[in-house]
Amino acid sequence: MKRRAIYPGSFDPLTNGHLDIIERACHLFDEVTVAILVNPNKAPMFTVEERIEILHEVLDAKFAQVNIDTFSGLLAEYAMKKRAQAVVRGIRAISDYEYELQMALMNRRLAPSVETIFLMAPQEYSFISSRLVKEVFKLGGSVEGFVPPFVIERMKNKI
Ligand code: PNS
């Protein structure tokens, strides 16, 4: 039986922290679906189509077992529809844990067959988030080392 995992998120934009989690998940699962949440209530830096394009550009050549998808609505329902055994989430610091635990327990209630697996980001990425990357970039700071070079190029095109 193939071991399938969903790695859900906003990926606005993809960071090196996300990349690290994807690589770790690939060591554990036969198939990893990076699933972008389509959230009409948020004003993103990159459209869903742009995020799909960025993920393909950065991931396709590197990870054979990764596929890219989008979802809306409940993650638990999406994970069951995809027949995934697990949802993977990255934990950077203890502050992430409370929210992640809440989501994991709610998702377990909604989809008891789907396990949430927490993977630890390495220390050097523990302070990186998409939100901070966008803020630093918009205020003129360097985001080198925080996101893949292709993402930096795409961010520069945005201004
Ligand atoms: O990258 P993010 O923004 O931290 O990802 C959050 C995400 C997409 C995993 C979470 O918001 C989510 O699962 N949304 C889907 C809606 C849902 O299932 N809500 C109930 C969560 S218990």
Question: How far apart are alpha carbons 48 and 54 in whole angstroms?
Answer: 10
pLDDT score recorded for residue 72? 97
pLDDT band at residue 82 using 50, 70 and 90 as cut-offs:
very high
Query: Which residues, in sequence order, are CB contacts of 107 under 8 Å at separation 6+?
Result: 75, 76, 79, 87, 114, 116
Render pLDDT for 85-110 as a digit per residue (tens, 0 to 9): 999 999 998 889 999 999 999 999 99
Substitution site in 100, 103, 105, 133 for ligand 1 pocket (most atoms within 8 Å of beta carbon): 103
Residue whose Cα lies nearest atom 16 of ligand 1: it is: 74
Mean pLDDT (the chain) is 96
Shortest-distance atom of ligand 1 to CA 107: 22
Residue whose Cα lies nearest atom 11 of ligand 1: it is: 9
pLDDT band at residue 157 using 50, 70 and 90 as cut-offs:
very high
> Domains in the chain, please, with CATH?
4-158 (3.40.50.620)
Angle at 114 between CA 32 and CA 51, to 5 degrees: 35
Establish whether 130 is a catalytic residue.
Answer: yes
Residue 23: half-sphere exposure toward Cβ, Cα within 13 Å: 12
pLDDT score recorded for residue 90? 97
pLDDT band at residue 158 using 50, 70 and 90 as cut-offs:
confident
Establish whether 18 is a catalytic residue.
Answer: yes
Render pLDDT for 100-141 as a digit per residue (tens, 0 to 9): 999 999 999 999 999 999 999 899 999 999 999 999 999 999
Residue whose Cα lies nearest atom 2 of ligand 1: it is: 9
Render pLDDT for 24-71 as a digit per residue (tens, 0 to 9): 999 999 999 999 999 988 899 999 999 999 999 999 999 999 999 999
Predicted model pTM: 0.97
pLDDT score recorded for residue 40? 85
